[in-house]
Structure formats: C-alpha cells, structure tokens
Amino acid sequence: MKNLTLFLLSVCFLMACTNTEKQTEKQKEMNRFIDSLMGQMTLEEKIGQLSQCSGEFATGPDNNPISRTEDISKGLIGSMLNVSGAEKTRRMQEAAMQSRLRIPLIFGLDVIHGFRTGFPIPLAEAASFDLDAIERSARCSAIEASASGLHWTFAPMVDISWDARWGRVMEGAGEDPYYGSLVAQARVRGLQGDDLSADNTILACVKHYAAYGAPMAGKDYNSVDMSMGHFANFYMPPYKAAMEAGAATFMSSFNDFNNQPATGNSFLLRHLLKKEWGFDGFVVSDWGSVQEMVAHRYARDEREAALKGITAGLDMEMVSECYRNNLAELVKEGTIDESLIDDAVRRILIKKYELGLFEDPFRYCDVEREKEIVNSQPLRDEARYVAERSIVLLKNEQNILPLSPSVKSVALIGPLAKSQKDMCGSWSCADQNKVITLFEAMQQRGLTINYSDGYDLKTDEITNLQHTLAQVRKSDVTIIAMGEEAWESGEMRSKADINIPAGQQKLVEEIVKTGKPVVVLMMCGRPVIFNTVREKAPAILCTWWLSSEAGPAICNVLWGDYNPSGKLPMTFPQHIGQIPLYYQYKSTGRPAGQDVWCTKYIDITDQPAYPFGYGLSYTRFDYDNVRVEKSDEKGVYAYVLVDITNSGNYDGEEVVQFYVRDEYASITRPVKELRGFEKIALKKGESRTVKFPVTDKQLGFYNNDMEYIVEPGEFTFMVGRNSQDVESVSFTL
Ligand code: GLC
C-alpha cells in the first residue's frame, strides 16, 4: 500500500511539474509574441493601445459619440466601451484588423448585475450572504455578455461604504470589509472563470480604486480623507482580495486620496497595487478622470494630467484624450521615458492575448451563439434563484407571512408593482420589456388583483384614497409596493434625505387602519428610512431592485415557496443625522450607554432601525452552547462552535454570524468585526453544530504602518443571527 501511495504521489508531482512547465512554456510563447509585436509598434501605435473611446452612449459627461472607424483602422484606439452586440463589435473589430499590426480591440461595458437578463442589484445580492449564488450570478453575466461581443466588464464594484446618502452603495456589497472581500472574490471568479481564453469568460475590473465609497457628506465624487490605518482596515481589503483572486484589471476612482487624485496617485497605483501587491494586469481610468485632474487643480493642463497619470501607473485612459494628445511629445522631448509607455502597453496586450483575441479576434462575435444564449431560460432561472435569496424579511407580526394558498384576491397597491424600468434599478443592461413585474407574476398565479396606484410617484401624494381602501376591503390581503424609482440610487444620485416620502408612508398608515392583513414591499437601491411604515405595517420585506425575475421571486417568497433568508449587508438608520452609521464602530473613551458624558446624541437615538446582518425567517432558529475549543491544527488557534436548531414550522436557511472583539490592542479597534459566517439550511426540527476557525485572519489587523499583525491578549467572540443579537465567549491568545 505504501509503495502505491508513493507511486501516486510521484505521478502527481510529475504532473504538477509538467503543468507548471506547460504554463511556463505558454508564458514564454506569449512573451515572445508580445516582445515581437511591441518591437514593431511605433510610439503612436503604442499610445493608441492606451486610449479607450466610448461608442453608442455616454456614462459620463462631455461625450459626443462619433464614428471611430478611421482611428480604429489606423490603430490609434485600443479599446471601446459602451458598444455591444456580436454584429456591432464584429464590424469594429474588422476595422481594427485593417490596421498595420492588426491589434484587436477590447470591448468593455458596465455589466454590473446581469446583462440582457437582469440580476438583482449587487447590494441585494450581497443580502443573500450566499457566495455561491453571487458567483453564479457573475458567471451568468459573463456567459451572456461574452456572447454579445464583450470581453470586459467594469465590475465588481468593491467600494466599502458607511454612508447611505451615497447613491452608489447599490453597486457594492455594503459596509463590511471582511464580507465585501469575499463577495469581491466570488464576483471575480464568476466573471473570469479559470480560463480567460474561453469564449464565455470576461475580464473583471475592480473598482473604484480607491476608497470612492467614503466621499465627504455622502456626495458623489467628493473628497475622501482618511488615515492610512483606517483605509487599510476598512476600505482596502476588498481591493486586495479581488486582486488576489486574479482580477485582470482595476479602475482608478474619481476622488482624491491622501490629497492626490486616485488617477494620478503613485502610492495607490505604482506602489501599493503594482509593487506591494504584485498586480500584473492593467489600470483603466474612470470616465475622463485623467483629464479631471485639471479640475482637481492637481494638473495645470491636459499635458500635465497625461504626465501625472502615466507616471503614477495609470495604463489606459477612458474617453478623455490627454494621453493621445500629449504622451508622444512628452517622450520625444525626454520628459518621460518610453519604458513607462511600454509597461502600460505590455499589460494591455497581455490581457488581449490571454483573451485569445490575437488567435481569433472574432471569437466573441458569433451572432448565432448570441441568439442562442442571450435571454435564455437557464439564465432567467438563475436570476430568480438569486433574487429569492436576496430578499430580506424585516417584520412579520401576526404571522401574516407566508400567505396561505387560500389567498385568492390581493389588493396590490403602488405603481412600482407594475414598473419594469424600476425593477431593473441603476446600471442595468437588462431588456426592460422582458422584466416580469409583481403585477404580472400575480396574474400568472391566477390571483384576483384589485389594483390601485395609491400614491403618485412624481408628487408623492396619496391619490384616490377611497378607491384604494375599497380595493383593500374587498381583498384577502393587501400588498403595498413602495420605495425608490430606479433613478434615485446609483451614480450621481446622492441624497441629503433618504426618508421614504411621507405620502407613501401615510398611505400605509391609512391602509393598516382597515384592519386587513398588510404586507409592505420596500423596493430600493440603498438603505432607506421609513419609521412610520416600520411601526405601523405588520409585515415588511426588503425586496431591493431584483430585475428580470423580480415578480416571480417576490411571489415565491410571499407564498412561502421560498423561505426568505436574506440579511442586511448595510445598516438601516432611523434618522439621516445618524449617518455614517455602521456596526463596527469604536468604543471611544466615553462609550455610548454610560451616563450623560458619553458618545451619543441628545435629540435622537444612536440605534439603527435594522442592524448589519439583520433578517428574519418564517421559521425560528435557536442558538445554544456557544463555546471555544482550542486547536493544535497548524495555523488554527481555536474553533468557535454553536448549536443551531430550527425550532419553527418551516424548513429554512440561517446566516450564522461570527464577530470578534479585540479587548486591548496597540491601536483603537472596533467593538466588533465580522470574521466569519455560514449560511446553513435546516429542516424544521433539525439541529446542527456550526464551527468557525480562529486564525490570524480572525484576530489580526493593520497597524498604522499598514502592516498586518496579530497581538496576543484577550478577545471576545460573538456568535449570532445579526450584529446586535449575539452570544459571547472569551478567549485569550
Ligand atoms: C462611470 C462610472 C464607472 C463606469 C464608467 C464607465 O462614470 O464611474 O463605474 O464603469 O464610468 O461607464
């Protein structure tokens, strides 16, 4: 037996070496190809590879879509964004094949949550706490987008944010860096798969590097100012994790960081990302952010913007033309060395090579394949699967939910129940006409629907109240769809007030007075404030913006075909004045909760409406016997264990959460930080023990020199169903 084991081990070793040799051989072959190609390129052709132009529509200011065919055919453009479709991209690629060196274009688009088949907005997906579902969603995006001529998506957006006034929280994974890092990696894996040359994988783009989610006052594009220690512990981890997952590209952010625009920030780009972390992909600017260094008053003119961008390590310029118009002169006059250009060009050519574009520039432009894949049913099934798991049950008094199969008539209230556009949310590529709304899904269930608008989305005033109440009175149950329209969250959608308008909330109050069963669906792109609804409505689901399968997913949850399992990835405040509000706060020298001399407000509570990690189920999960067991496994200090029992009447899933508090450290540390979670499925009556490893990853932190360290001492481990409802146990390292 021993000889056989030795034999098998040696075979595996030889195979691994062969595989490595093959990889090395493939790399050598690629480098030979790129060295030869670059040796033929003129300076103008090299600079062409650093230029990206927008195609059919603008996702930023000052873009006038003009035909780029001539420039493409001269090799003066290396990439196009905002154009898709097998036929359209083929035509542009044909123009690129007319260029002297036939270097293919790379096509990018914001495929943020699904392509033509829309998936839940990323913040909603994050609420699933289901990394497999999140990866599957990204996989579907890649499959559908790559069938439509796309090679690259400007996703995942991994910006941590503690500020719900910032409209772009909808694009991310919420407030927690530990969870945000895992989500970032899942999305990179889903998009890129394990073979970039496959025709159903695309390049990921980690954005917006860096700390774009922390704009002053929650105003989009605003300045970011934080200590390096704060950046390292709370904002940096997802970028680093995504890079470690193999992300092919990064996007520099609009904001300044440590008093320098990220797009011209050598610390962020050349030092931290490329040197310290060893990132070998390329960095694209955000829309016009090279030129915007002039508006930042960090560059005197576009010439200096080009100089600062290329010097800092910014490889490709999106839309603005500072590189195109100035780099050649900067090289020729000796201000910059051509090697800076060569490094950027090489990084870009490597990704085009890895995509297989030199081998077959038209690999992704197959019209027949596009017809077969885009909007196909398997993608829709996946979209519904992920959407169901993204819904968060916030309240369920009188056990109104799940609705009984005997419910035959429904008063459906609110224009969002019929809005295909608003179900798609912001940054959507979905075919809006293929979105199944809540109204349609209820029709498909054969229900009698007594519909009423109830309120006017434009004026936010109640309309036809008596008609609405009449619909309510003659129905078995009332479902009220309320929240935000798609334009209210997303880029350049910062709000000073995230309260749901009073009119919508007042309507709920009036309907609840009828005494009929009422369920409120909160359809939103961010944490919103709805204190009246929170108090008066007996049942509330946060359904976010779920895109193409919104209606069926919501109905499946309402009627219990799927027992909601989502948890909030971001704290929901009670008052706008609480923002920024987050669970991993620090105790301060006068911790909240003590006597008058403590960290608090004199006019409002410091408690959230709903804490990070909060979400209910139709069943009940009991947590017992939280305990620590020392471990002698290498790298594992201990395990934290908890016994979970489904003591309710429904099978369900629970996100068991593990938080850590470092009781004493060389820097001030938060009162708790998420350091583990596990989503488990338990049948009613079933019990299971969940165990969390305690390693450096759970106990460590970045010191003020940005070194990751672990300090011996006392810790408190907390396990629970959300960031507030936890049971504690002590541990000493
Ligand atoms: C936008 C966004 C960025 C997007 C890019 C291209 O301004 O900031 O997230 O990827 O431009 O559309």
**pLDDT for 547:** 98
| Residue 287 near ligand 1, beta carbon < 6 Å | yes
pLDDT interval class at 5 (50, 70, 90): low
Q: Per-residue pLDDT tens for 292-320?
A: 999 999 999 999 999 999 999 999 999 99
Domain range summary for the chain, segments of one domain joined by +:
49-109+151-363, 380-573, 621-732
The residue behind tokens 């007075």 is 513
Q: What average pLDDT score do residues 68-85 get?
A: 96
DSSP H or E run through 342:
helix 338-354
Q: Say if residue 571's pLDDT is above 80.
A: yes
**pLDDT for 8:** 59
Residue-averaged pLDDT of the chain:
96
Q: What average pLDDT score do residues 110-117 get?
A: 98
**pLDDT for 16:** 59
Query: Measured at the alpha carbon of residue 382, what is the angle toward residues 378 and 387, in degrees to the nearest 5?
Result: 145
**pLDDT for 396:** 98
**pLDDT for 11:** 61
pLDDT interval class at 20 (50, 70, 90): low
| Residue 159 near ligand 1, beta carbon < 6 Å | no
Question: Distance (Å, rounded) from C-alpha 484 to C-alpha 525?
Answer: 7
Strands 701-702 and 708-709: antiparallel
> Probe ligand 1: pick from 154, 191, 220, 290, max atoms within 8 Å of CB?
154
Nearest ligand 1 atom, CA 207? 9
Q: Per-residue pLDDT tens for 495-507?
A: 999 999 999 999 9
Atom 8, ligand 1: which residue's CA is nearest? 286
pTM to 2 decimal places? 0.96
pLDDT interval class at 17 (50, 70, 90): low
Atom 3, ligand 1: which residue's CA is nearest? 286
Q: How far is CA 348 from CA 103, 314, 411, 429, 528, in A?
A: 11, 11, 56, 26, 41
Which CATH number does 380-573 carry?
3.40.50.1700
| Residues labelled catalytic | 286
> Probe ligand 1: pick from 63, 286, 292, 428, max atoms within 8 Å of CB?
286
Q: Per-residue pLDDT tens for 536-554?
A: 999 999 999 999 999 999 9
**pLDDT for 413:** 98
**pLDDT for 616:** 98
The residue behind tokens 């919501």 is 554
> Probe ligand 1: pick from 63, 79, 83, 110, max atoms within 8 Å of CB?
110
**pLDDT for 67:** 81
Find out whether 424 and 462 touch, Cβ atoms under 8 Å: no
Q: Say if residue 436's pLDDT is above 80.
A: yes
| Residue 380 near ligand 1, beta carbon < 6 Å | no
First to last CA, the chain: 41
Nearest ligand 1 atom, CA 82? 12
Quick one: what percent of the chain has pLDDT higher than 90? 94
Q: Tell me the CATH class for 49-109+151-363.
A: alpha beta
CA of 429 to the centre of ligand 1 (A): 14
Q: Is 84 helix (H, G, I), strand (E, B) or coil?
A: coil
CA of 721 to the centre of ligand 1 (A): 36
Nearest ligand 1 atom, CA 251? 10
CA of 546 to the centre of ligand 1 (A): 21
| Residue 614 near ligand 1, beta carbon < 6 Å | no
pLDDT interval class at 643 (50, 70, 90): very high
Q: Say if residue 252's pLDDT is above 80.
A: yes
Residue 438, C-beta contacts closer than 8 angstroms, at least 6 positions apart: 412, 416, 417, 418, 479, 481, 521, 550, 551, 554, 555
Find out whether 320 and 81 touch, Cβ atoms under 8 Å: no
| Residue 286 near ligand 1, beta carbon < 6 Å | yes
User: Ramachandran region of residue 399, left (φ > 0), alpha (ψ -120 to 50) or beta?
Assistant: left
| Residue 154 near ligand 1, beta carbon < 6 Å | yes
Nearest ligand 1 atom, CA 254? 8
Atom 12, ligand 1: which residue's CA is nearest? 59
CA of 287 to the centre of ligand 1 (A): 6
| Residue 288 near ligand 1, beta carbon < 6 Å | no
CA of 214 to the centre of ligand 1 (A): 17
| Residue 491 near ligand 1, beta carbon < 6 Å | yes
| Residue 60 near ligand 1, beta carbon < 6 Å | yes
CA of 427 to the centre of ligand 1 (A): 9
Edge-to-edge, what's the strand order for the sheet holding 714-720?
673-682, 652-662, 714-720, 726-732
Q: Which residues pair with 542 in a beta bridge?
A: 392, 522
Q: What average pLDDT score do residues 478-488 get?
A: 98
Quick one: what percent of the chain has pLDDT higher than 70? 96
Q: What average pLDDT score do residues 81-92 get?
A: 97
Q: Say if residue 519's pLDDT is above 80.
A: yes
| Residue 493 near ligand 1, beta carbon < 6 Å | no
User: Ramachandran region of residue 356, left (φ > 0), alpha (ψ -120 to 50) or beta?
Assistant: left
Q: Say if residue 178's pLDDT is above 70.
A: yes
Question: Distance (Å, rounded) from C-alpha 397 to C-alpha 537?
Answer: 9
Sign of CA dihedral 12, 15, 21, 25: negative
Is domain 621-732 annotated with CATH 3.40.190.10?
A: no
Strands 726-732 and 260-261: unpaired
| Residue 152 near ligand 1, beta carbon < 6 Å | no
Which carries the bigger pLDDT value, residue 593 or residue 717? Answer: 717
| Residue 427 near ligand 1, beta carbon < 6 Å | no
Q: Per-residue pLDDT tens for 582-623?
A: 999 999 999 988 678 999 999 999 999 999 999 999 999 999
Q: Per-residue pLDDT tens for 22-36?
A: 768 999 999 999 999
**pLDDT for 595:** 76
Burial (Cβ within 10 Å: 0-12, 13-18, ≥19) of residue 308? buried
pLDDT interval class at 451 (50, 70, 90): very high
CA of 59 to the centre of ligand 1 (A): 6
Q: Say if residue 164's pLDDT is above 80.
A: yes
Q: Say if residue 205's pLDDT is above 90.
A: yes
CA of 158 to the centre of ligand 1 (A): 13
Q: What average pLDDT score do residues 89-109 get?
A: 98
**pLDDT for 46:** 98
Q: Say if residue 18's pLDDT is above 90.
A: no
Q: Per-residue pLDDT tens for 384-414?
A: 999 999 999 999 998 899 999 999 999 999 9
CA of 394 to the centre of ligand 1 (A): 32
